Structures are given as structure tokens and as C-alpha cells.
Structure 1
């Protein structure tokens, strides 16, 4: 994989994301669809209902994610549940993350 492929795709098709500390960049934020019989996106809890859906994040190398970061994409806010740098050769190609929407 060439290092300049994903930045070009992000510029053309990505969406702007804003981290809690004000840093901005481009990323793909897409829902992860479950392939099971139980595909509820809202789960009951003792304190009420909560969203259970998750989102995949693929973002620019210049915008590192950390667990617990809060970000905005469009009008939605998300919390980072998991994040990892993806390397091509010895350099970071992009960031992969799993997001949960905030109420």
C-alpha cells in the first residue's frame, strides 16, 4: 500500500472531525453493522436505555487518537473506545479506531 493513497481518499471522500482539544482532520466514520439475530442499537439498563451501536474510524496520520478522546463528526459526538496507529513500512499510514456515540 502506498502511503499517499489514504490521504487522497480522505481529502476527497472523508468528513471533517474535531477532537475535544480543538485539533481537526479528515476521517471516515461509519457504523459497524452487526450480523447477529440480536441487532438492537438501544439496550435497556437499570438506569434507562443506552445506545449500543459502534462506529469505525479511519483517520489521517496527523490526527492521532487516544482511548477516551471525545470527537465531533458533523452534529454527532463520539467517545474513542479503542485506537491504534496503522503502519506502512516504518511510518504511520493512518489511525484505526472504534467509537461509541454519546447521548
Structure 2
């Protein structure tokens, strides 16, 4: 059983819409985790009185706050790219309608 965040979506009629809904839930879960972590960090910074002497010139902390967002973007981009290629399939239609509009 998968984690399903109910946002009053209609019932899905095709597998493509189902994949879009799963991607939406995946991205929303990542955003909720980021929001909670950042909120917790802000609250601890306001209530914390500690001073770390190596914090101002730390290469490790700069590497961490550069690599973690890149990894997060990869976790969002890979399913998104897979979904784009699934949606871009060209089917052979039975009928083609061409409409031309003039103003």
C-alpha cells in the first residue's frame, strides 16, 4: 500500500494521469519534508545561543549546502523526465482533425 495524499483529485481515467498524480504526490512529499526541516532549523536558530568558531569559514558546510540541493533536484528531475518521455509517445490516430481559425 503506497502513501497517498488525498487532495480531492477526480478518479483517474488513464495510466498517464495516474503517473502524473504519483509524480505530484512524490514532489509534494519532498517539498513537505524540506519545509519541515527548514522550519525546524529556523526555530532552533532562534532559540539557540551556541556559537561555533569554525562556522564562518567552513568548507565542509559549504559543500553540504551545495550537494544536498543538487541531490534533491535529481530526486525530482529523474521521475519528471521519465514522465515527460511517457507523455511524449506518438500514437497513430485513426482520424486527424485540422481546424483553421481566422480573425
Question: Whose helix proportion is higher, 1 or 2?
Answer: 2
Specify if TM > 0.5.
no
TM-score (norm 2): 0.22
Higher-RCO chain (CA-CA 8 Å, sequence separation at least 6)? 2
Question: Whose strand proportion is higher, 1 or 2?
Answer: 1
TM-score (norm 1): 0.22
